[in-house]
Structure 1
Amino acid sequence: MYPTHSLLEKIKLYSIILWPILVTQISYHAMNVIDTMMSGRAGTTDLAGVAVGSSLWAPILTGFNGILMAVTPIIGHLLGKGEKQEISRSVLQALYLSVVLAVVVYVAGVLFLPSILSLMQLEAEVAYIAKHYLIGLSIGLVPLFASNVLRFFFDAQGYTRITMVILLITLPISAFLNYLLIFGSFGFPRLGGIGAGYATGLTYWIIFGLSLLMTKRIPSIRAYRLFSHWIRPSLSAWKAQLALGLPMGLSIFFEASIFSFVTLLVSRMFTTDIIAAHQAALNFSSLLFMIPLSMSMALTIVVAYEMGAGRVKDAKQYSWMGIALSMLIITIASVFLYFLREPVAYLYTDHPDVVALAMSFFLFAIFYQLSDAAQATLQGVLRGYKDATVPFVIALISYWGIGIPSGYWLATQTNLGPFGFWIGIIIGLTSAAIGFWIRLYYINRRFSSLRS
């Protein structure tokens, strides 16, 4: 990270930070896409089971990952202030916290997963696949959370290519493990959709091992001597991270959970074909969302750095530049999705009825991409300002107070059926984008008045 003095320099630095994050996010999501696509080839029931399992897992993963994401603005501000000596301590405490959070998730799964699946009233085979898919994933909880802490540590300093390289190495390994365990190749058991969970859980261990290796092999990272001097876990340090990370995590959780909740409602109310088509459309549109999400994460890095150094004007320039670029790019991507929605649907299934349904879902996905891109980048800017509590309230009201109720009403009280839920998602995301925009306007005015 370094100061910039013109818009051109800002675009250059932002691009350098952004593109590895984008490759990393696409690679992470590609693991889920591979799980879904390969499970769909094993059978429609496998695809539905993985859809349900993924929908339960996604909000948990993103929510807890959001808590750990507080490492990025914390370290960004420390770098901007020149307090590098505090960085190693912050990272170690975050690693301790990540292990605790992983254990919490695991215990909660053991206690509540059977009851949740029972309440969903799924077909017996779909519920069985969903449960054991999640059991397979659980073997990688600790390494996943710990490797994400290291990732945010790398990213906050502008070293976004480190995780990109790690993911590019592990992605084909994940695909190969899927091939072995889903289809029972080379003497391995044929597990169907369940095998996708175990393949991904094993991949998380590989990612963590490579992340640890990078802390020793890269000189600028090795200089922090992360694991040379162990310190005791500090409840006060955890409290400081949770004060920022918890509202961040909850905001992300409430966004991710509306997609998962809609999938669960669709699973209860409609046929297996509709579940499969819904999941295919949601899965691929989520892949496109990696673009604004990556831009959001890059904005958090640069805005936090500039705010830590007290350069409010530069932070504001980064903010508007990033938001405008995000909207432009996702608009172009949505146009491509419109014209390619049929071949994309066939990537998930060869059943004509499911393909036709997925194509219809893709039309709604195109519209929610725009609102999703706006709210994501706005949240990234606010995180850079270390503003998390008010955005959390905005997210809760928008997603669960407006989006879900309106979607449920449209799905049950009109002829829209499952498409009503997608309209509800669009309404919720748009409400959040408007709320975040107002909040950012207020934050900018407050900092401008402090400077004057």
Structure 2
Amino acid sequence: MSVYFREARATLRLALPIIVGQVSQMLMGVTDSVMIGRLGAVPLAASAFASGVFSVFFVVGLGLLLPVAVLVSREHGASDDQAGARWLQHGVALGVIAGLVEFALMLGLMGWFHRLGQPPEVLAAVNPFYVLITASILPTLVFQVFRQFAEALGRPWVPMFIMLGGVALNVVLNWVLIYGHWGAPALGLAGAGWATLASRVIVVVAIILWLRRATGFRSAWPDTWWRGLQARRFREMLVIGVPAAVMLFFEVGAFMMAALMMGWIGAEALAAHQIALSCAAFMFMFPLGISMAVGMRVGKAVGEGRHELLRPIATGGLVTAIAIMSVSAIGFAVFGPWLAGGFVNDPGVVALAAKLLVVAAIFQLFDGAQVIGSGALRGLADVRVPATISFIAYWLLAIPGGYLLGLHTSLGAVGIWVGLAVGLAIAAVLLAARFLRLTK
């Protein structure tokens, strides 16, 4: 049993700055929601819709780039940092390509918004904010590459502080640009978009400057960026990255579909969904950070040939995540109305968001378990079967169930979230069973 506690402590040490970095990134969205919520339910609903679309593209790009952490950590475990430098080089190239392609796709999607059944007042308000956060996809993905590289080499603290600085900058710029302080015009919802874009550009510049100058990365820093790119390395990254991206798409796409169904109910339901989702997604950053640490440690153990540590690493991460999410679940159930009231002053939205947070209190446990399972499997470079599991859990069960419960019963918005909880529970069980099977 001592090995499990030892590995849990080691995972938590690596995960702590990653968690803070993830929370910092999430705080950009949360602070946007809180500050936009002061403008009213319609701007908040518009930001929910735009952020939901952005999130789908972001996680697809993130999934494509997750091999950077897995492959660099494996090379680091084998004491070959020069090989790790090649993965960084190819990761940056892939991040730039993915960012440009996704930017173009998101702009093209604007012409289809009117077909998604959203409230007309929401669609009338969304475009300026949507275009600006869409433009931030490129710096966001490139930052993720450099951040994963630093974390895979055991240097997660500076990226964490850079992200915290980005959050603070985003808050200040929101205050200036949304409400029109310091002589700036009051841009409202568009001001939040400008603040987010500026903050994300600045954090990627900051992390590049740090990595370029820090002595600890000289042996793992590419000599060139565009010469020497190899198709076989891109193929190897995509073998891991494409199924990981598909898996993340199925999960986040399910929440996006839930947001669309909320819009079919009305702007109030969509605003309440955004509030509850912001709270749930904020707490999800804790098990997500642990999952990323588990994936890197599993990959490093594979590189070192220490296969006996695989189950202790994963189990220690799972127990830690469940403990954190249990505290979160209690907080959501007890303080739901108070949390919702911090976002918006609309009594109807607050009451509905509080009900959704009760459901979130239940699925927090399943959400934490499934993300640890997917992280451990990613460390083993096992991503195709988990992608299939995600499709079954979310798109064959969660979304149809949420549709039936939400739009064809009196449960309404709550029914949609019950469907999501069922999907998360099934994914958690199947992913854990898959890991146990591969590590007999």
Residue 100 of structure 2 is aligned to residue 100 of structure 1: no
Q: What is the aligned counterpart of 1:162 among 151, 158, 163?
A: 158
Residue 10 of structure 2 is aligned to residue 18 of structure 1: no
Residue 387 of structure 2 is aligned to residue 395 of structure 1: no
Q: Does the 8 Å contact 2:31/2:171 carry over to 1?
A: yes
Alignment of 1:258-407 (within 5 A): 258-267=254-263, 269-407=264-402
Q: What is the aligned counterpart of 1:66 among 58, 63, 66?
A: 63
Report the CA distance shift for 1:121/1:408 in structure 2 as closer, same or farther (over 3 A): closer
Residue 234 of structure 2 is aligned to residue 235 of structure 1: no
Q: Percent identity?
A: 28
Residue 216 of structure 2 is aligned to residue 220 of structure 1: yes
SS at match of 2:439: helix
SS at match of 2:344: coil
Report the CA distance shift for 1:248/1:229 in structure 2 as closer, same or farther (over 3 A): closer
Shift of 1:293: 0.8
For residues 25 and 330 of structure 1, the distance between their equivalents in structure 2, rounded to whole angstroms, comes to: 16
Alignment of 1:120-139 (within 5 A): 120-139=116-135
For residues 360 and 329 of structure 1, the distance between their equivalents in structure 2, rounded to whole angstroms, comes to: 21
Residue 420 of structure 2 is aligned to residue 425 of structure 1: yes
Shift of 1:232: 3.6
Mean CA deviation greater in 401-410 or 227-236: 227-236
Shift of 1:230: 5.1
Mean CA deviation greater in 127-136 or 388-397: 127-136
Letter in 2 for 1:420: G
CA displacement, residues 170-196 of structure 1 (integer Å, 9 cap, x when unaligned):
211011111122112222232222221
SS at match of 2:21: helix
Report the CA distance shift for 1:408/1:121 in structure 2 as closer, same or farther (over 3 A): closer
Residue 199 of structure 2 is aligned to residue 197 of structure 1: no
Shift of 1:7: 4.5
CA displacement, residues 306-356 of structure 1 (integer Å, 9 cap, x when unaligned):
111110111221111111111111101211222211211111011222211
Q: Does the 8 Å contact 2:174/2:195 carry over to 1?
A: yes
CA displacement, residues 54-81 of structure 1 (integer Å, 9 cap, x when unaligned):
1111111112111101111111111122
For residues 414 and 337 of structure 2, the distance between their equivalents in structure 1, rounded to whole angstroms, comes to: 18
CA displacement, residues 369-419 of structure 1 (integer Å, 9 cap, x when unaligned):
111111001111111111111101111111101111111111222211111
Alignment of 1:109-128 (within 5 A): 109-115=106-112, 117-128=113-124
For residues 373 and 418 of structure 1, the distance between their equivalents in structure 2, rounded to whole angstroms, comes to: 23
SS at match of 2:201: helix
SS at match of 2:187: coil
Q: Does the 8 Å contact 1:55/1:264 carry over to 2?
A: no
For residues 302 and 211 of structure 1, the distance between their equivalents in structure 2, rounded to whole angstroms, comes to: 23
Letter in 1 for 2:156: T
TM-score (structure 1 length as normaliser): 0.94
Residue 253 of structure 2 is aligned to residue 247 of structure 1: no
For residues 441 and 11 of structure 1, the distance between their equivalents in structure 2, rounded to whole angstroms, comes to: 18
Q: Does the 8 Å contact 1:129/1:194 carry over to 2?
A: no
Shift of 1:228: 5.4
Identify the residue that residue 144 of structure 1 maps to in structure 2.
140
Report the CA distance shift for 1:123/1:403 in structure 2 as closer, same or farther (over 3 A): closer
Mean CA deviation greater in 106-115 or 67-76: 106-115
For residues 140 and 313 of structure 2, the distance between their equivalents in structure 1, rounded to whole angstroms, comes to: 30
Which segments of 5 or more consecutive residues in structure 1 lack a partner in the other structure?
A: 446-452
SS at match of 2:221: coil
Residue 6 of structure 2 is aligned to residue 35 of structure 1: no
For residues 226 and 407 of structure 2, the distance between their equivalents in structure 1, rounded to whole angstroms, comes to: 56
Shift of 1:254: 0.9
Residue 83 of structure 2 is aligned to residue 86 of structure 1: yes
Shift of 1:131: 2.3
Q: Does the 8 Å contact 2:103/2:138 carry over to 1?
A: no
TM-score (structure 2 length as normaliser): 0.96
For residues 129 and 222 of structure 2, the distance between their equivalents in structure 1, rounded to whole angstroms, comes to: 34
Letter in 1 for 2:338: P
Letter in 2 for 1:194: A
For residues 338 and 296 of structure 2, the distance between their equivalents in structure 1, rounded to whole angstroms, comes to: 37
Taking only aligned residues, the RMSD between alpha carbons, in angstroms, comes to: 1.6
For residues 11 and 402 of structure 1, the distance between their equivalents in structure 2, rounded to whole angstroms, comes to: 33
SS at match of 1:223: helix
Q: Does the 8 Å contact 1:403/1:427 carry over to 2?
A: yes
CA displacement, residues 413-441 of structure 1 (integer Å, 9 cap, x when unaligned):
22111111111101111111111011111
Letter in 2 for 1:75: V
Identify the residue that residue 74 of structure 2 maps to in structure 1.
77
CA displacement, residues 202-225 of structure 1 (integer Å, 9 cap, x when unaligned):
111111111111112321113323
Q: Does the 8 Å contact 1:136/1:195 carry over to 2?
A: no
For residues 360 and 110 of structure 1, the distance between their equivalents in structure 2, rounded to whole angstroms, comes to: 34
